[in-house]
Amino acid sequence: MNILLIGSGGREHALAWAISASPLCDKLFIAPGNPGTAQCGENVVLDIADHRAVADFCKLMGVGLVVVGPEGPLVEGIVDDLEAAGIKSFGPSRAAAQLEGSKAFTKELCAEFGIPTAAFARFTDEAAAKAYVAKTGAPLVIKADGLAAGKGVIMAETIEQANDALAMMFSGGLGAAGAEVVIEEWMVGEEASFFALCDGTHALPLASAQDHKRAFDGDTGPNTGGMGAYSPAPVMTKAMEEQVMAEIVRPTLAGMNQRGTPFKGVLFAGLMITADGPKLIEYNTRFGDPECEVLMPRLKSDLVPALLAARDGVLNAVDLRWSDEVALTVVMAAKGYPGTPEKGSVIKGIDKAAAAKDVLVFHAGTQANGEEIVANGGRVLNVVALGRSVSEAQAKAYAAVDLIDWPGGFCRRDIGWQAVKREREG
Ligand code: AMP
Ligand code: GLY
């Protein structure tokens, strides 16, 4: 079968790597892809926003499955439009992607179906929101309802910070995303991510991961899309995974079904492991980036039949095998990220790093310039290593990072530090 993968990040290189290894995959196209995905298939120039053009391409090339990586096209309804054109597509419908597209939607679903999450209130009016803050007191978490590229969440330790955040959002500081605001209880605990594959009715657990959102060592500096991750998350025991499936993932699927908008695709639960058990922070409706880069190397089974079964509603017949090893990724970013990254700097030594034992290098914001690879985005490379422990995977990943010669880039030197500390303390 021919497959089209949509996206251009490290997540898509990891997916392209897994999909192209499948005996079911004859030809893989990636739109737009990056120089890494070009090693797994053929990058194609397509206007992703033009769903009819994507459908026409699929018909012309005999594409039997479309896999959508990022959230943007999902929220724009690409799966609805491709399916309507008769093309099998993996990912949620526009209505089901509201689990990521609208925080208020998800909070209401949690309230209706008893899914554990932070207490919350919704506002479209600044004065009413400020009155609620005055009544509740700090700390609080202030969130823009819509997609805000990771900038829509403000942790307010004081009433003043909460009011400043509300003023910023209601005055259009985040555009339309801030027209509605959700105010949440500040939950305390350790964060972890959990991924499940869903076919509308059944959910198949994938794996857990933890990431590092802050730009600099010691979890300091501005928030980013993620500077590194590892899987599995040591805090997620088998029992905890079962609790998350029973209390969070399955009730979400049942609720979405009951509302007539069944969820198909990857459900990515951001969790807070509190003293009262796991609680939902938020959902994403796709693989995480860089979490996907640590999930794919641990997956022992063929990914393609699982994606097809999720699309076809027959996931109950699928069983996936996972490596017991830990995978850890270090993101290498261009200087300036997460502000304005410097583009065009030359990166050397990628092949040397990728040739190291138990190491994979996934491209994100790179560009081929003749024989050279240059930086062309914020997050540029993912250096992934497998090991028997987080400490071992971390050591191998940094040894490979050190083979890459890129004065224009930087990375954190402490990815996995909490888990490494936990392993040392035994
Ligand atoms: P979100 O975009 O909703 O995942 O939020 C981004 C980050 O803000 C999360 O990864 C948490 O670190 C933090 N956060 C969001 N909501 C809460 C909450 N209710 N309590 C504590 N931390 C939160
Ligand atoms: N790494 C977080 C995300 O993909 O949203």
pLDDT tens track for 130-143: 999 999 999 999 99
Q: Give the C-alpha separation, 4 to 59, whole Å.
A: 11
C-alpha of residue 282 to centroid of ligand 1, in Å:
8
Which of 127-141, 161-175, 363-377 is the least confident region?
161-175
Name the one residue in this structure whose structure tokens are 């509603």: 313
C-alpha of residue 268 to centroid of ligand 2, in Å:
9
Percentage of the chain exceeding pLDDT 70 = 100
Which of 68, 266, 284 to probe ligand 2 with, by most ligand atoms within 8 A of CB? 284
Residue nearest to atom 5 of ligand 1 (CA): 153
Q: Could you tell me how many residues make up the chain?
A: 426
Q: At 148, is the pLDDT very low, low, confident or very high (cuts 50, 70, 90)?
A: confident
Q: At 145, is the pLDDT very low, low, confident or very high (cuts 50, 70, 90)?
A: confident
pLDDT of residue 369: 94
Task: Find residue 121's DSSP bridge partners.
Answer: 183
- How do residues 280-295 score in pLDDT, each as one tens digit? 999 999 999 999 999 9
pLDDT of residue 149: 66
The per-residue pLDDT of the chain, averaged, comes to 96
Q: Compute φ and ψ for 7, nearest 5 degrees.
A: 140, 175
Half-sphere exposure of 362 (CA within 13 A, CB side): 31
Q: Give the C-alpha separation, 7 to 158, whole Å.
A: 39
pLDDT of residue 267: 98
Statement: residue 95 has pLDDT above 80: yes
Closest CA to 334 of 306, 294, 298, 375: 375
Q: At 43, is the pLDDT very low, low, confident or very high (cuts 50, 70, 90)?
A: very high
> CA 343, 71, 236 angle in degrees (round to 5)?
100
State how far the alpha carbon of 205 is from the alpha carbons of 21, 234, 279, 298, in Å: 22, 16, 17, 14
CB 58 within 8 A of CB 6: no
From the number of C-beta atoms within 10 Å of its C-beta (0-12, 13-18, 19+), residue 250 rates as: middle
Task: Find residue 13's DSSP bridge partners.
Answer: none
Q: Ligand 2 in contact with 241 (CB < 6 A)?
A: no
Query: For the residues 80-109, what does the mean pLDDT come to?
Result: 95
Statement: residue 173 has pLDDT above 90: no
Query: For the residues 375-399, what does the mean pLDDT come to?
Result: 98
Query: For ligand 2, what atom is nearest to the CA of residue 211?
Result: 1
CB 99 within 8 A of CB 266: no
Residue nearest to atom 1 of ligand 1 (CA): 282
C-alpha of residue 191 to centroid of ligand 1, in Å:
9
Query: For ligand 1, what atom is nearest to the CA of residue 188?
Result: 21
Q: Give the C-alpha separation, 34 to 6, whole Å.
A: 11
* DSSP character at residue 348: B
Q: Which two tokens stand for residue 398?
A: 């940094």
C-alpha of residue 362 to centroid of ligand 1, in Å:
27
Structural domains present in the chain:
2-91 (3.40.50.20), 125-179 (3.30.1490.20), 190-317 (3.30.470.20), 326-425 (3.90.600.10)
Residue nearest to atom 4 of ligand 2 (CA): 288
CB 397 within 8 A of CB 368: no
First to last CA, the chain: 47
Residue nearest to atom 4 of ligand 1 (CA): 282
Which of 149-163, 204-218, 260-274, 400-414 is the least confident region?
149-163
C-alpha of residue 270 to centroid of ligand 1, in Å:
8
Percentage of the chain exceeding pLDDT 90 = 94
